[in-house]
Chains A and B, each alone.
Chain A
Amino acid sequence: MIGLYLPGRSVVHRTPTLLKLLLLAVGVSLLAFMRGPVAVAVASTLLAALFALARVPLGVAWRQVAPVLWLLIVAVPLQALFAGWPEAGLMAARLIIAVALAALFTLTTTVSSVLAACEALLRPWGRFVDADRVGLLIALVIRCVPLVTDIVKEVAEARRARGQERSLVALAVPVVVRSLYAADAIGEALTARGFDD
């Protein structure tokens, strides 16, 4: 979500967000019933077709799936130990396809569309949940990830410059203090932009 969106006008991009969310849920659920190499091959082909349809470059697609492989390096041998290699392979295939499907959703859907979809889903429960507020909350959570990442980078650099590479306090204290100041400033900016109630 944080800068993952890949602009485009493909059918996948233009599919309504709620429908994409529904298809994603159905697709991931169906993976639980996937058995045998033929089913894996069919699912993988379908997935590749969807990525091609969305015109996602190979490198970008790979970057979405690659982090899962680190997890699988540990998880697959463990699963093989308890359930055998075929079951471990199937688990790995399910996980990779599920992550790739989720990545396809984030690559082809803007955060505003996701927020609008969340708000639409929550609106029927308007008496109990403020849909706009939940949407804003999600937007802020997404926004804060790169903001805090930048703070950590800057503080780590400053810590190095002062020769305190090993000091946890020199990292944690400024990061917490600066994050709280940033939160305060964002709150003020939201008020200034009219989101004050």
Chain B
Amino acid sequence: MSVVEFAQVSHAFGEREVLRDITLRLAEHRIGIVGANGSGKSTLARMINGLVTPDVGRVTVDGLDVGRRGREVRRRVGFVFTNPDNQIVMPTVREDVAFTLRGRGLSAAEISTRTDAALDRFGLAGHAEHPSHRLSGGQKQLLALAAVLVAEPAIVVADEPTTLLDARNGRRIGALLAGLPQQVIVVTHQLELLPAFDRVIVIDEGRVAADATPAVALAAYDALLA
């Protein structure tokens, strides 16, 4: 498994401090991050992909500083957003999955093979030539996931990937993420997904409020919400 390290990380958006002195070492297979809205958990997740660089402290992925070597880090870390509409770029499903592989020095045949395999894996083969913006919400999130995983990243970070989905699709996407062989870091409000995880981190007002096994961390989160 890869190792993500936060070393005394703090960050503010203007006057608002969103992360305060976070130090974490993430090396488990499946890690959940929970917290109230505005607690800083999404900022924490974005830092792993280098989408946000910390004001203070350092974030590294397998020893690579996300601020200085963002491009290399992003090749290792795939990111799934809450709203798949913002992630879809190309007009058809196949083209969008293949788009991820642009500029990676792969032959057209290899891009086609890997794209077909990803579409098959996520049950999108039958929609390959369909307009991506006409898919259902669940299918769009599957497409976003396929477009991330076709590049075979070592780590998958998902920021509330089930928030916009119905319960059935939410469970489906959650199960898919939990079953990935890669290291998976999921920010979620869907707590029923987390008991199968190896570790759960609770973020509250920019700090780590709990960091333990799912049972212990979720009990702490419950107490925090009470």
Interface residues of A (CB under 8 A from B): 1-3, 5, 7, 110-112, 132, 139-140, 142-143, 146-147, 150, 182, 185-186, 188-197
Within 8 A of A (CB), among B25-80: 49-51, 70-71, 74-75, 78-79
A187 — nearest CB in chain B belongs to which residue? Answer: B86
B87 within 8 Å of A by Cβ? yes
Contacts known (A3-B134, A7-B129); A143 close to B89, Cβ less than 8 A: yes
B131 within 8 Å of A by Cβ? yes
Query: Min CB distance, B140 to chain A, in Å?
Result: 12
What are 24 A-to-B residue pairs whose CB atoms are below 8 Å? A3-B91, A3-B92, A3-B134, A5-B91, A110-B92, A112-B98, A139-B89, A139-B99, A143-B90, A182-B86, A186-B86, A189-B81, A191-B74, A192-B51, A192-B78, A192-B87, A193-B74, A193-B79, A194-B71, A194-B75, A194-B103, A194-B151, A195-B103, A196-B70
CA separation between A7 and B94, bound complex, in Å?
A: 12
Query: Min CB distance, B224 to chain A, in Å?
Result: 29
A135 — nearest CB in chain B belongs to which residue? Answer: B102
- From B70, B74, B91, B133, give the contact of A111 (CB < 8 A): B91
A139 proximity list for chain B (CB < 8 A)? 89-90, 99
A111 proximity list for chain B (CB < 8 A)? 90-92, 95
A193 proximity list for chain B (CB < 8 A)? 74, 79, 87, 89, 99-100, 147-148
Contacts known (A147-B85, A185-B83, A185-B86); A192 close to B74, Cβ less than 8 A: yes
Q: Are A143 and B88 in contact (CB-based, < 8 A)?
A: yes
Given contacts A147-B85, A193-B148, 9 further A-B contacts (CB under 8 A): A143-B88, A189-B79, A192-B49, A192-B81, A192-B87, A194-B71, A194-B75, A194-B103, A195-B103
Contacts known (A3-B134, A194-B71); A142 close to B91, Cβ less than 8 A: yes
CA separation between A143 and B86, bound complex, in Å?
A: 10
Q: Are B131 and A2 in contact (CB-based, < 8 A)?
A: yes
Q: Which of A110, A132, A192 has the most CB of B within 10 A?
A: A192
Q: Are A5 and B129 in contact (CB-based, < 8 A)?
A: yes
- Considering only CB atoms and an 8 Å cut-off, how many residues of chain B contact the other chain? 32
B99 proximity list for chain A (CB < 8 A)? 112, 139, 193
B103 proximity list for chain A (CB < 8 A)? 132, 194-195
CA separation between A139 and B95, bound complex, in Å?
A: 10
CA separation between A88 and B9, bound complex, in Å?
A: 72
CA separation between A142 and B50, bound complex, in Å?
A: 27
Q: Are B92 and A5 in contact (CB-based, < 8 A)?
A: yes
- From A2, A150, A196, give the contact of B74 (CB < 8 A): A196
B134 proximity list for chain A (CB < 8 A)? 3
A1 — nearest CB in chain B belongs to which residue? Answer: B91
Query: Min CB distance, A131 to chain B, in Å?
Result: 11
CA separation between A189 and B83, bound complex, in Å?
A: 10
Within 8 A of A (CB), among B130-148: 131, 133-134, 147-148
A147 proximity list for chain B (CB < 8 A)? 85, 133
B148 proximity list for chain A (CB < 8 A)? 193
A110 proximity list for chain B (CB < 8 A)? 92, 95
CA separation between A195 and B79, bound complex, in Å?
A: 13
Query: Min CB distance, B102 to chain A, in Å?
Result: 8
CA separation between A192 and B99, bound complex, in Å?
A: 13
B77 — nearest CB in chain A belongs to which residue? Answer: A192
